[in-house]
Chain A
Amino acid sequence: MPSRVFVALRVKATPLRAFTVFTEEISVWWRPNALFNFTPRSPGLMAFEEDERGRRLVEQLPGGKVFEVGRVSVWEPGARLAFGWRQATFSPDQWTEVEVTFQAVGEETRVSVTHTGWDSVPGEHVAKHGFPEMLFMRRHGEWWQTLLSAMETRL
């Protein structure tokens, strides 16, 4: 039973180009998924945008409203990207985090996504970026562990 979701594939592009297309053209390549609608008004257009507090991933909804999916915590063009992931139905203590890495493999790039769906985020990562949500993540890590061991005994 995995406690995190990990998916990777190779694309024919340099890591920098892969990063740029991933972030700048997300409105074009992202596929709406009914199970993972961010809000009841979804789907809209996904976009990474900058504001006074830094960067964030948003969904621009059809009615003109903007839903913040999560703040960007890591932005290293050509290497690494991390952002929060919340859906409108989440309760305040629910929090997930997505990390995307871009690694050169010969002429291609291996793009890996790790969605620590309900898992804890490593401590140094939390400290480095000063997430106020740290407590929530800790709690999540704890209960997810409990949940997983409870599940293991039942599956």
Chain B
Amino acid sequence: MDAARVDAVLSALADPHRRRVVELLGRRPHRAGELAQALGLTPPAMSRHLRALRQAGLTEETHPDFDARVRVYQLRPEPMAYLKDWLEETERLWIQQLSAFKAHIERD
């Protein structure tokens, strides 16, 4: 697991607008226009947030078959899996540390 990648994801999600986008996309894919409307943002502001999410690897862009000009955004599953891994790794870290602590304190 790549810790820098996790940091990038967490950093992208530190913004409330972007968290809202993730929440909306968690339900279904949306067009950029729908997202801008739901969040009450201007198209340029919306595209800045979408870029940040895309760069963090959280979302991906697709086009519907009938129209290449329309952009549809959806969540990528992998970053969520990274975060789940991160929690599991944190648990593993503390099991390791507490076991080392136990061995140390019971040694003498």
Which residue numbers of A lie inside 8 Å of B, CB to CB? 1-2, 5, 7-13, 17-18, 21-22, 25, 28-31, 33, 35-36, 87, 89-91, 93-94, 111, 113, 115, 117-118, 139, 142-143, 146-147, 149-151, 153-155
Contacts and interface: CB of A to CB of B under 8 A. Distances in A.
A111 B19 CA distance: 35
Q: Which secondary structure characterizes the binding site on chain B?
A: helix
Interface of B: 1, 3-4, 7, 10-11, 13-14, 16, 19-20, 22-23, 26-27, 75, 77, 80, 83-84, 86-87, 89-91, 93-106
Nearest to A93: B14
Contacts of B16: 139, 142-143
A118 B19 CA distance: 14
B94 A17 contact: no
Q: Which secondary structure characterizes the binding site on chain A?
A: mixed
Contacts of B98: 7-9, 111, 113
A62 B106 CA distance: 29
B90 A115 contact: yes
Given A7-B94, A147-B83, A13 B26 contact: no
B93 A35 contact: yes
A139 B20 CA distance: 13
Contacts of B106: 11-13
Given A5-B87, A5-B94, A11-B105, A143 B75 contact: no
Contacts of B87: 2, 5, 117
21 contacts: A7-B94, A7-B98, A10-B102, A13-B105, A13-B106, A22-B101, A29-B101, A29-B105, A36-B93, A91-B7, A93-B14, A94-B14, A111-B98, A113-B97, A142-B16, A143-B19, A149-B23, A150-B22, A151-B84, A153-B26, A154-B77
Contacts of A142: 16, 19
A31 B96 contact: yes
Q: Which of B3, B75, B101 has the most CB of A within 10 A?
A: B101
